[in-house]
Amino acid sequence: MSVERREVELAANLARVEERITRACDAAGRERADVTLVVVTKTYPVEDVRLLAELGVREFAENRDQEAAAKAAACADLGLSWHFVGQLQTNKARSVAGYADYVHSVDRARLVTALSAAVVHSGRAPLNCLVQVALEKESGHEGGRGGVAPGHVAELAAAVAAAPGLRLAGVMTVAPLVGVHAGNPGAAFERLKEIARNLRSIDPAANMVSAGMSGDLEEAIVAGATHVRVGSAVLGVRAALG
Ligand SMILES: *Cc1c(COP(=O)(O)O)cnc(C)c1O
Could you tell me the domains of the chain? Answer: 3-235 (3.20.20.10)
Closest atom, ligand 1, to C-alpha of 233: 9
Ligand 1 centroid from CA 242, angstroms: 9
pLDDT tens digit sequence for 155-170: 999 999 999 999 999 9
Mean pLDDT of 30-45: 98
Is it the case that residue 53 has pLDDT exceeding 60?
A: yes
Closest atom, ligand 1, to C-alpha of 42: 1
Backbone angles phi, psi at 8, to 5 degrees: -60, -45
What does the pLDDT read at residue 142? 83
Nearest CA to 225 out of 191, 202, 176, 201 is that of: 191
Q: In angstroms, what CA-CA distances link 194 with 42, 112, 197, 202?
A: 30, 23, 5, 13
Ligand 1 centroid from CA 123, angstroms: 30
User: Ligand 1 atom 13: the closest Cα is on which residue?
Assistant: 85
Angle between helices 65-74 and 46-54 (to 10 degrees): 50
Ligand 1 centroid from CA 63, angstroms: 9
- What residues line ligand 1, using a CB cutoff of 6 Å? 40, 42, 63, 85-86, 174, 213-215, 229-233
Mean pLDDT of 79-98: 98
Ligand 1 centroid from CA 231, angstroms: 6
pTM (2 decimals)? 0.97
Ligand 1 centroid from CA 92, angstroms: 20
What does the pLDDT read at residue 242? 46
What does the pLDDT read at residue 186? 97
Is it the case that residue 112 has pLDDT exceeding 60?
A: yes
Ligand 1 centroid from CA 113, angstroms: 26
Q: Which of 52, 59, 82, 85 to mutate to test the pocket of ligand 1 (most atoms within 8 A of CB)?
A: 85
Q: In angstroms, what CA-CA distances link 129 with 20, 154, 159?
A: 27, 14, 11
Is it the case that residue 141 has pLDDT exceeding 50?
A: yes
Question: Mean pLDDT, the chain, as a whole number?
Answer: 96
Closest atom, ligand 1, to C-alpha of 145: 13
pLDDT band of 139, cuts 50, 70, 90: confident
Is it the case that residue 241 has pLDDT exceeding 80?
A: no
| Half-sphere exposure in the Cβ direction for 74 (13 Å, CA) | 13
* Percent share of the chain, pLDDT over 90: 94
Is it the case that residue 2 has pLDDT exceeding 70?
A: yes
pLDDT band of 1, cuts 50, 70, 90: confident
